[in-house]
Amino acid sequence: MPAQLKKISESTIHRLSIYYRALAALEKENRTTISSKELAKRDKLTPAQVRKDLSFFGSFGTRGLGYPVVELRNRIAEIMGLNRLWNVALVGVGNIGSALAQYKEFAKQGFNIKLIFDNDLRKIGSNHKGIIVSDVRNLKSMVVSENIDIVIIAVPAASAQAVCDEVVAGGIKAILNFAPINLKVPDDVVLRNQNMCIELEHLAFALNNKNR
């Protein structure tokens, strides 16, 4: 892998996810090639931006013919780590947690929710779409024994840091946090926050600045 991949920006990674999805859709339609222009148009980007993003992978695509759909999709999958299975543990089966447990796209993209935890005695031991809800007291030991790669935190803000500390102590290096709080993690742990309000705020900004 080229060394400059380490320096790939957050927004590029985000766009790679989008290209990946577009290419998967094109593959289903049996398309063999796609131009940077068409790929750009689908997601309201510029062809130059698309070409720049894809140039990270070295030379790809033929002028006039475009990019080979399957090959490019596989290449992005390889870079992004989407050509393998990731073991995911979900902590908290409240409103958001329950919706996530049933979100079918995760499995399709290789994110296998293997464990579910809660601290509610009425939920522990119950069957959640084929997964028995475990006691959160066993969180640290089970993320180790079940080889969990990624932990999704979907507990209330007040308990999120404690959950986070437990999984970090269990050696977890990647956390997706849905709790509306800034979690503290060591430098070698990657933390992403999913605040459901942020996309609405983008829309509010756009509406607010439409007629100026």
Measured from the CB of residue 62, what is the shortest distance to a copy of itself in angstroms?
25
Taking the least distance from each CB to a copy of itself, the nearer of 88 and 139 is 88
Q: Does 96 bind a copy of itself (CB under 8 A)?
A: yes
- Cβ within 8 Å of residue 173, ≥6 positions away: 188, 189, 190
Q: Does 5 bind a copy of itself (CB under 8 A)?
A: yes
Measured from the CB of residue 136, what is the shortest distance to a copy of itself in angstroms?
20
Q: Does 46 bind a copy of itself (CB under 8 A)?
A: no
Taking the least distance from each CB to a copy of itself, the nearer of 5 and 169 is 5
Taking the least distance from each CB to a copy of itself, the nearer of 65 and 204 is 204
Comparing CA positions, the residue from 198, 177, 195 lying closest to residue 91 is: 177
Comparing CA positions, the residue from 180, 194, 181 lying closest to residue 150 is: 194
Burial-class residue 88 by CB neighbours within 10 Å (0-12, 13-18, 19+): buried
Burial-class residue 94 by CB neighbours within 10 Å (0-12, 13-18, 19+): middle
Q: Which stretch binds a copy of itself (CB under 8 A): 30-38, 67-75, 76-84, 119-127?
A: 76-84
Beta bridge partners of residue 66, listed in sequence order = 62
Measured from the CB of residue 120, what is the shortest distance to a copy of itself in angstroms?
16
